[in-house]
Amino acid sequence: MTSFRLSVIFFITMSFKVNAGMVNDVNIAVHPINLHKHVKFLTGIAGFRNYQNTRSQKKIRKYIRKHFKQAGLVAKEQVFEYEGNEYANVVGLLNGNKSQIIVIGAHYDVCGNQPGADDNASGVAGL
């Protein structure tokens, strides 16, 4: 069993002075329908998102990057190798040129053979 979690991370960088116009260029709408749509996709991928199923994880990574980009974020991956397999954390950056950073994260993989709806998928959908 592995000892790492695959993560999706949203970085908001900002200065100490927070103002209302700071993130106007971001298209983020938190709506129950969107949350349901994301959870349904994440839990409906064929093959559980555990460390053994890298193909399912790649589909999820692509989905997360697409939605980060649609929200106006810069989407990146932190790729690493473990026991001959490629894994990645997905990162979304907002206001990437500021000196202070706020990190919001969730993990998109699951432990074992389960859909991970109540923890992993809901955390990613909320993010």
For every one of its 127 residues, what pLDDT tens digit does the chain have, with 9 covering 90 and above? 445 555 555 554 443 334 444 444 555 556 788 888 988 998 888 888 888 888 998 999 999 999 888 888 888 899 989 889 898 988 888 776 667 777 777 888 888 888 877 667 877 887 7
Work out whether strand 100-107 and strand 85-94 pair parallel, antiparallel, or are unpaired.
unpaired
Three-state DSSP class for residue 10: strand
pLDDT at 59: 92
Domain ranges of the chain: 7-126
Backbone angles phi, psi at 11, to 5 degrees: -100, 125
pLDDT at 24: 47
pTM for the full predicted model: 0.74
